[in-house]
């Protein structure tokens, strides 16, 4: 892990000899309801704290590594006044005190962070999936159901014969949380380093439900411990990376690496700026080797600095999100963290003009709502389009790009199996063409997905038992599922080729070396012929949907596969 001392905006926090421009003092202190903001300090400037106070703000949380603070204020003009101070880079309304448009709230619930809730669970209550497959020697009981691991050779007779990962390699899961008690995660779960950077939001300022009442949660608290996942998304991601070989359920890509829960997402699937930045800087400070980020930072799917469809205030906010997120990504990268992210599930070419109808999906001022915006390629989705980030597209069982996966030549870096339930000969839905990973039992029970005897009553869940110990597993699809499989291969690379981390202990490897190895060992895959590929889906409701995506580029790199399909076996040999 390359150790570089970063002189960031912490210098701007020095308490001595700080000067606040006179015109800011006492100006614009118009009383209003209490609001919360994220304030980004200008790098190298002095007087940031004083500028916040002069604008009527109170700092309640501060990230000195990045130069960012969470601020509360009753000054209705706080943002305008603070932005006018030379020590302030930007101001963002902090999402948890806003309101959620009903349409966006429904979309976020279905999305479960970046993707639609993966297996399109039309018609709950189908036949339960079968349990144990027919594993080969030393394979896990459900290995035959893991077509995705076969695709990238992360199997008992593939990569795991040579390298299963090192416990000294730490993989951070920036997500909705991780169920550290799941029997197919617990052996690799690092509870000492795991942290929760969020607080659940029962309702917004208008009384609309966001994460739900604290007393209704499984742990009956809004301050969740760092081994809880009340969404299911983060547990699936963690299991995909590092479920152990323990004669139960499945094996992850790197079944002996350590999982660190760096919770940055709400139960509802929203991911806000401050938790994302805090999780990334924590990863850099604590020797995390690889992080997986299967989400985008809300409320803007794409952040634009000069889009005429946005107001000046919205443009300023989006510019601040880009700058703050990039500072955090830079910090983590410079401190030895390999950054892996999901490419997105909009089925969009990120290098072309796109119409976004979902943003802002969480608003804090009356009258705001998602609106249609024309998005040029210059706009960026964070963190996937951030510098130093490895963006991963999703593939189905046939190795075609998944119908939902976003793409783009120069955007996608590598590809990995993330599932495609319509990747079948008849183009009809088959839940087993999703990817199978761990699922919290508490959620299965709370959602009514189990029979009285504990067996699943839905077709997207599988149970496996080893004696009295049982684990539950869920089929999901999405680029959120592809990204952790690439992150798992990155963790194998660090395990195989890493060297001693003299600062934190364990192993480390320069992120640039990890990315180069991941790309170099990926299986080169050409665009379809013809490159305009038409997807046909016969939905359970009887309708048929078609869509055509155009793959650009050559075999060495293209918009569907990037540098190729990650390969665990080639990566470790």
Mapped to the 3 state alphabet, what secondary structure does 270-290 carry?
CECHHHHHHHHHHHHHCCCCE
pLDDT in tens, 516-536: 999 999 999 999 999 999 999
- Token duo for residue 471: 């684990």
Return the domain boundaries, the chain. 9-93, 102-296+321-347+381-523+560-572
Are 9-93 and 102-296+321-347+381-523+560-572 the same fold in CATH? no
pLDDT of 108 reads 41
Distance (Å, whole) CA 227 – CA 181? 7
> What is the number of residues in the chain?
573
pLDDT of 97 reads 37
pLDDT of 119 reads 40
pLDDT of 28 reads 52
Locate all alpha helices (DSSP H) within 67-163, ordered by sequence.
78-83, 102-111, 147-151
User: Are 198 and 94 contacting, i.e. CB atoms less than 8 angstroms apart?
Assistant: no
User: Are 32 and 91 contacting, i.e. CB atoms less than 8 angstroms apart?
Assistant: no
Distance (Å, whole) CA 497 – CA 483? 21
User: Are 113 and 233 contacting, i.e. CB atoms less than 8 angstroms apart?
Assistant: yes
18: Cβ contacts below 8 Å, ≥ 6 apart: 46, 47, 49, 50
pLDDT of 103 reads 43
Distance (Å, whole) CA 290 – CA 171? 5
Structure-derived torsion over alpha carbons of residues 205, 209, 210, 214, reported in degrees to the nearest 10:
100
**What is the biggest distance separating any 2 CA atoms in the chain, rounded to whole angstroms?**
75
Residue 483: C-alpha distances to residues 169, 230, 285, 478, 565 (Å): 18, 21, 23, 9, 12
Distance (Å, whole) CA 300 – CA 165? 36
Residue 297: C-alpha distances to residues 198, 286, 381, 384, 518 (Å): 14, 23, 8, 10, 25
Distance (Å, whole) CA 43 – CA 27? 24
Query: How many Cβ atoms are within 10 Å of 232's Cβ, its own excluded?
Result: 25
Query: Residues in the chain with pLDDT < 70?
Result: 1-28, 95-137, 203-207, 218, 363-367
CATH architecture of 102-296+321-347+381-523+560-572: 3-Layer(aba) Sandwich (3.40)
**How does DSSP assign 464-510, residue by residue?**
EEETTEEEEEEEE-SHHHHHHHHHHHHHHHHHHH-EE-TTTSSEE--
pTM for this predicted structure: 0.90
The hierarchical CATH code for the domain 9-93 is 3.30.70
pLDDT of 218 reads 67
pLDDT of 21 reads 37
- Token duo for residue 136: 């080969």
Closest CA to 488 of 251, 261, 229: 251
């Amino acid at each position: 892990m390359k150790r570089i001392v970063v002189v960031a905006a912490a210098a701007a926090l020095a308490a001595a000899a700080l000067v606040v421009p006179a015109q800011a003092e006492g100006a614009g202190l118009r009383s209003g309801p209490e609001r919360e903001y994220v304030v980004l300090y200008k790098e190298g400037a002095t007087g940031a704290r004083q500028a916040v106070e002069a604008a009527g703000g109170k700092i309640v949380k501060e990230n000195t590594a990045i130069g960012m603070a969470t601020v509360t204020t009753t000054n209705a003009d706080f943002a305008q006044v603070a932005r006018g101070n030379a020590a302030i880079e930007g101001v963002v309304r902090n999402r948890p005190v806003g309101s959620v448009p009903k349409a966006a709230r429904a979309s976020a619930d279905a999305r479960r962070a970046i993707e639609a809730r993966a297996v399109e669970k039309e018609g709950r209550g189908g036949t339960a999936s079968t349990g144990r497959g027919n594993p080969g020697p030393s394979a896990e009981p459900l290995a035959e159901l893991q077509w995705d691991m076969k695709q990238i050779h992360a199997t008992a007779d593939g990569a795991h014969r040579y390298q299963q990962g090192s416990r000294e390699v730490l993989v951070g899961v920036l997500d909705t949380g991780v169920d550290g008690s799941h029997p197919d995660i617990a052996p690799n779960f690092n509870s000492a380093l795991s942290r929760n950077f969020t607080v659940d939001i029962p309702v917004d300022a208008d009384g609309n439900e966001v994460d739900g009442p604290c007393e209704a949660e499984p742990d009956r608290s809004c301050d969740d411990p760092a081994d809880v996942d009340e969404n299911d998304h983060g547990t699936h991601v963690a299991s995909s990376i590092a479920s152990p070989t323990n004669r139960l359920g499945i094996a992850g890509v790197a079944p002996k690496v350590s999982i660190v829960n760096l919770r940055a997402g709400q139960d509802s699937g929203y991911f806000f700026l401050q938790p994302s930045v805090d999780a990334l800087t924590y990863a850099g400070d604590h020797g995390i080797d690889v992080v997986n980020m299967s989400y985008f930072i809300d409320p803007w799917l794409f952040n634009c600095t000069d889009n005429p469809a946005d107001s000046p205030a919205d443009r300023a906010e989006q510019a601040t999100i880009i700058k703050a997120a990039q500072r955090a990504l830079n910090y983590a990268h410079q401190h030895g963290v390999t950054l892996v992210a999901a490419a997105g599930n909009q089925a969009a070419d990120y290098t072309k003009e796109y119409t976004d109808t979902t943003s802002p999906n969480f608003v804090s001022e009356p009258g705001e709502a998602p609106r249609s915006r024309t998005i040029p390629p210059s706009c960026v989705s964070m963190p996937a389009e951030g510098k130093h980030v490895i963006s991963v597209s999703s593939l189905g069982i046939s190795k075609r790009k998944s119908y939902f996966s976003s793409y783009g030549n120069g955007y996608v870096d590598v590809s990995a199996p993330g599932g495609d339930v319509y990747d079948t000969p008849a183009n009809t839905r088959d839940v087993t063409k999703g990817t199978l990973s761990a699922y919290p039992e508490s959620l299965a029970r709370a959602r009514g997905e189990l029979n009285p005897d504990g067996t699943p009553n839905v077709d997207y869940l599988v149970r496996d038992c080893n004696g009295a110990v049982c684990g539950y597993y869920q089929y999901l699809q999405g680029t959120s599922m592809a990204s952790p499989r690439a992150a798992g291969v990155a963790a194998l690379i660090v395990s195989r080729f890493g060297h001693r981390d003299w600062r934190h202990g364990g192993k480390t490897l320069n992120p640039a070396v990890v990315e180069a190895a991941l790309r170099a060992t990926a299986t080169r895959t050409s665009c379809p012929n013809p490159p305009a590929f038409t997807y046909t889906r016969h939905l359970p409701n009887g309708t048929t949907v078609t869509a055509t995506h155009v793959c650009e580029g050559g075999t060495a790199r293209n918009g569907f596969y990037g540098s190729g399909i990650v390969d665990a076996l080639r990566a470790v040999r």
